Structure 1
Amino acid sequence: MAIPIRNTVFDKIKEANRLTDVELFKSLVKDGHVIAEDRFNKILLDLEILGLITVSWVTKDERRIEIVVVEKPVDEIKEQVKETEERDYEASFPGADK
C-alpha cells in the first residue's frame, strides 16, 4: 500500500521543523518524489488548512514552512483528582506504608 504524498511531505516538514519551499521541493526530488508545482502548492495548502503547518512568505519567490506545535492546556482540577485517586489507592492497602 502506497503512502499518500501528503503524508510524505508532512513527514519531511516534521523532520526539519522549519524549512523553505525550495528546500522541501529539492528534498522530495532527491528522494524520488517528483510532483508538479501546482500539486505541491495544493498539498501545502491542504496541510495548512488542516492546521498542521504554517506557510509564510520570506521573499517574493520563497516561502517558509513551519510545523504547528499544539500544546494541550493542563486541566488543574483533573490533575488534582488524579493525584487524590492515586493517594487513596495507595492508602487502601493495609500495611503498605511500612
Structure 2
Amino acid sequence: MTIPLRNQIFEKIKESNSLTDVELYKSLTKDGLNLPEDKFNKLLLDLEILGLIKVAWFTKDERRIEVAMIEKEEDPIEKQNKEVMEKDYEASFPGVDK
C-alpha cells in the first residue's frame, strides 16, 4: 500500500517546519518523487485548504511553506466543569484547610 502524495509532502513540511517551495520540490525529487509543477501546486493547495499548511509569497518566484498551528478553543462549559471537579476533589480531603 502506498502513502498518498499529499501525506508525503505534509511529512516533509513537518520535518523542517518551514521551507520554500523550491527546497521542498528539490527534496521530493531527491527522494524519487518527480511531480509535474501543476500537480505539486495542486497538492500544496489541497493541504492549505485543509488547514494543515500556510503558503505565502516569499519572493517573486518563491513561496514560503510552513505548518499551520492549530489552536484549540477551550469550551467554556468544559472549563467550568473542570474547575468544579478540581474544587470537589480538594474538598474531598476532610480537615485540610488552605
Q: In which range does the TM-score fall when normalised by the shorter chain?
A: 0.7 to 0.9
Does 1:79 find its partner at 2:79?
yes
Report the counterpart of residue 55 of structure 1 in structure 2.
55
Task: Extract unaligned runs of 5+ from structure 1.
Answer: none
User: What's the CA shift string for 1:4-37, capped at 9, x where partnerless?
Assistant: 0110001111111110000000111111111111
How many Å apart are 1:56 and its aligned residue? 0.9
Equivalences, count: 96
Percent sequence identity over matched residues? 65
**Cα distance in 1, alignment partners of residues 79 and 55 from structure 2:** 36
**Cα distance in 2, alignment partners of residues 48 and 22 from structure 1:** 17
Q: How does 1:10-89 map to 2 (within 5 A)?
A: 10-85=10-85, 88=88
How many Å apart are 1:77 and its aligned residue? 3.8
User: What's the CA shift string for 1:36-81, capped at 9, x where partnerless?
Assistant: 1111011011111111111111111110011111111223542342
**Cα distance in 2, alignment partners of residues 75 and 49 from structure 1:** 25
Which amino acid is the alignment partner of residue 73 of structure 1?
Answer: E
Which amino acid is the alignment partner of residue 41 of structure 2?
Answer: N
The alignment's TM-score, normalised by the length of structure 1, stands at: 0.80
**Cα distance in 1, alignment partners of residues 4 and 77 from structure 2:** 41
Secondary structure class of the residue paired with 2:23: helix
Please provide the CA RMSD for this pair.
Answer: 2.2
Which amino acid is the alignment partner of residue 79 of structure 2?
Answer: E
Which amino acid is the alignment partner of residue 8 of structure 2?
Answer: T
